[in-house]
Chain A
């Protein structure tokens, strides 16, 4: 049962948290806290998790949580790490939770600064591809072609999604990885690995948002799996900004249309837009295969 110790694994996420049904962000944190263990401080910047964490004296996690302002996550994470070191608590792990807004947009400066200084903590972007806490407005993580409340029909998101993992690994950080909730073993393995590494670690977790993406709350895992199987969101890790390896390779690359047509936010896309998206995905996937020496 959630919230209880099951042998080796301690569930850190309490039941009764404030997430929507089927929330990918809640699952993401359930898995990653399970992997990181109880000697943990979680820093949360403005995002869905500002709500999910609950209203004090209640709390959703079995560890200390420190909330911080929207653009500040990277800097606060570094400050907490250094504060722990000053107090001699070197063994405590610091993990920063930010949404895509707090990572790709308003938090990018502090994130880049922390990565460049190689601050010793784990930064997690749980990416639901728009400002979902305020009700689905476009962020720079929103993919081309998606509709949001700031790009309503007949508009759609025009720009491409930033390749955040490339941006972050270009800082030469010791560990960068992608993960998603349909592959919990892969996700937990990456966090266990990250925990053992010193320095700045960045993990980008695709976290489906049923109300925002226009899928049923029971479809979170399916849509997360399709994102990987269509190579829209490949699973890989990059060590020291150089060596890249895929941690999962789909036996067959499914058509992107399967992933897009399952979500209402992509409804009404024209043929040529679909083609452009498929081309982008193919180009990116070929690049990853090349970089991982698997092409």
Chain B
């Protein structure tokens, strides 16, 4: 399979192109901009089918996509930070409307003040919008996850956000296997979901309704979301059959006898993975799926391995509460009889996460507390 040296942004654009998208509507924002430019280049060269729309805002990017998705088109867009925040209303709407669209978010801190660092709070704070959220640890995962995201979204009719860190992934060159469109077709066929909007078919779509009807619709979405990790696992199996690699809802490397596990999402997980050989008695959980949160899978894994402490790398902070990944994890651990201690390494603002930082966080002697926050760590 051809291997190319490309950035995360290139991997994202290539994945959308190989997926045979019908419509791309996007608006530029650092550090996502190159994705839009690459797609525009494909379009200019006639290598991107369908429609390419340079819209006037991120809000319009999602609104325009929604109109096409209503007719059964496969749509793709990408954004970051303030752009994602600006889409907020449309995020809710598209999830409620069950449009199976794919949206990339390249993590970047939200102002004020202006800051370009890859704080993950932009996407994590959209956790209740009803979108699936998948995080990528390297450029290969970006390419692969976008293909899987289309398959997942169109299977369960829930929109999917594919997330990766600004600069560390968006701008770093890595070797990525980029299959041709024909090979991709063996995994991902053209969209065949039933669109709600069909010319000539009378319907009053997404019109005013009662609380009772809305309850039913939300309950249905909730149940579908609860089963999403299992569907992703099936899709991952199909993916492996074609591409000989796979991931699952979360990827764990927990050596026998490891008492401590580091849980991270995005490029932080990759940093931990590379450093793992130097950390005795420590494992890694790369949290690939954040929405829905794979709590059952996590608890089962922690119980089986008798893990005593989880250090969560949270490149975000919900002020007054703490790291969002740690909050989610702690809520999931409530069902365990003997839950592990949770230490939360807070890297809000998107500061760099180094192996040294990890070593120092792991050395923190606060194991007696049920949970503790570690703000960055002192670097000597």
Q: Which A residues fall within an 8 A CB radius of B? A: 38-39, 41, 43, 50-51, 53-69, 71-72, 74-87, 89, 92, 109-110, 112-113, 116-117
> In the bound complex, how far is the Cα of B199 from the Cα of A228, in angstroms?
36
| Contacting pair B68 A82 (CB below 8 A) | yes
Q: Given A86-B23, A86-B71, does the pair A78, B64 have CB atoms closer than 8 Å?
A: yes
Q: Given A71-B59, A89-B199, A113-B55, does the pair A79, B204 have CB atoms closer than 8 Å?
A: no
Binds A, one of B139-147, B179-187, B206-214, B351-359: B206-214
| Contacting pair A76 B208 (CB below 8 A) | no
Closest to B200 in A: A39
Tell which of A41, A64, A79, A85 touches B63, judged by Cβ atoms closer than 8 Å.
A79
Q: What are some 22 contacts across the A-B interface (CB < 8 A)? A: A38-B200, A41-B199, A50-B208, A54-B204, A54-B208, A59-B202, A59-B204, A68-B67, A69-B90, A71-B63, A72-B90, A79-B25, A79-B66, A79-B68, A79-B70, A80-B70, A82-B68, A83-B69, A83-B72, A85-B51, A86-B23, A117-B54
**B73 part of interface (Cβ distance < 8 Å):** yes
> In the bound complex, how far is the Cα of B90 from the Cα of A102, in angstroms?
16
Q: Given A53-B207, A66-B206, A76-B64, does the pair A87, B71 have CB atoms closer than 8 Å?
A: yes
Q: Which residues of B contact A109 (CB under 8 A)?
A: 56-57, 59-60
Q: Mark B33-53, 1 if CB is under 8 A from A, else 0.
A: 000000000000000001101
Q: Which residues of A contact B199 (CB under 8 A)?
A: 39, 41, 64, 84, 89, 92
| Contacting pair A68 B63 (CB below 8 A) | yes
Closest to B52 in A: A82
Q: Which residues of A contact B218 (CB under 8 A)?
A: none
Residue among B22, B55, B67, B72 facing the most chain A CB atoms (10 A cut-off)? B67
> In the bound complex, how far is the Cα of B97 from the Cα of A80, in angstroms?
14
> In the bound complex, how far is the Cα of B14 from the Cα of A21, in angstroms?
56
| Contacting pair A64 B198 (CB below 8 A) | yes
| Contacting pair B63 A65 (CB below 8 A) | no
Q: Given A59-B203, A75-B55, does the pair A69, B89 have CB atoms closer than 8 Å?
A: yes
Q: Mark B165-208, 1 if CB is under 8 A from A, else 0.
A: 00000000000000000000000000000000111111111111
| Contacting pair B70 A75 (CB below 8 A) | no
Q: Which residues of B contact A71 (CB under 8 A)?
A: 59, 63, 89
Closest to A51 in B: B208
Q: Which residues of A contact B247 (CB under 8 A)?
A: none
Closest to A43 in B: B67
Tell which of A74, A83, A117 touches B68, judged by Cβ atoms closer than 8 Å.
A83
Closest to B196 in A: A66
Q: Which residues of B contact A67 (CB under 8 A)?
A: 204-207
Residue among B59, B90, B199, B202 facing the most chain A CB atoms (10 A cut-off)? B199
| Contacting pair A86 B50 (CB below 8 A) | yes
Chain A nearest CB, measured from B156 CB (Å): 21
Q: Which residues of A contact B71 (CB under 8 A)?
A: 80, 83-84, 86-87, 89
> In the bound complex, how far is the Cα of B68 from the Cα of A58, in angstroms?
24
Question: Interface size bucket, B side?
Answer: 35 or more
**B93 part of interface (Cβ distance < 8 Å):** yes
Closest to A94 in B: B67
Q: Which residues of B contact A61 (CB under 8 A)?
A: 202, 204
Q: Given A59-B203, A62-B202, A68-B63, does the pair A87, B56 have CB atoms closer than 8 Å?
A: no
Closest 5 CB pairs of A and B: A79-B67, A113-B56, A83-B71, A83-B68, A75-B63
Q: Which residues of A contact B197 (CB under 8 A)?
A: 41, 64, 66, 80, 83
Q: Given A55-B208, A78-B64, A86-B71, does the pair A64, B25 have CB atoms closer than 8 Å?
A: no
| Contacting pair B53 A82 (CB below 8 A) | yes
| Contacting pair B59 A55 (CB below 8 A) | no
| Contacting pair B66 A76 (CB below 8 A) | yes
Q: Which residues of A contact B72 (CB under 8 A)?
A: 83, 87
Q: Which residues of B contact A57 (CB under 8 A)?
A: 204
Closest to B61 in A: A75
> In the bound complex, how far is the Cα of B192 from the Cα of A87, in angstroms?
12
Q: Which residues of B contact A53 (CB under 8 A)?
A: 204, 207-208
> In the bound complex, how far is the Cα of B59 from the Cα of A257, in angstroms?
43
Closest to A84 in B: B71
Chain B nearest CB, measured from A145 CB (Å): 33
Chain B nearest CB, measured from A51 CB (Å): 6
Q: Which residues of A contact B148 (CB under 8 A)?
A: none
| Contacting pair A64 B68 (CB below 8 A) | no
Closest to A57 in B: B204
Q: Which residues of A contact B53 (CB under 8 A)?
A: 78-79, 82, 117
> In the bound complex, how far is the Cα of B218 from the Cα of A287, in angstroms?
54
Q: Given A87-B73, A112-B56, A113-B60, does the pair A80, B68 have CB atoms closer than 8 Å?
A: yes
**B133 part of interface (Cβ distance < 8 Å):** no
Q: Which residues of A contact B22 (CB under 8 A)?
A: 83, 86
Residue among A43, A57, A79, A85 facing the most chain B CB atoms (10 A cut-off)? A79
> In the bound complex, how far is the Cα of B59 from the Cα of A51, in angstroms?
24
Q: Which residues of B contact A78 (CB under 8 A)?
A: 53, 64, 67
| Contacting pair B202 A56 (CB below 8 A) | no
> In the bound complex, how far is the Cα of B60 from the Cα of A112, in angstroms?
11
**B65 part of interface (Cβ distance < 8 Å):** yes
Q: Which residues of A contact B202 (CB under 8 A)?
A: 59, 61-64
Q: Which residues of B contact A75 (CB under 8 A)?
A: 25, 55-56, 59-61, 63-64, 67
Closest to B22 in A: A86
Chain A nearest CB, measured from B222 CB (Å): 21
> In the bound complex, how far is the Cα of B202 from the Cα of A62, in angstroms?
6
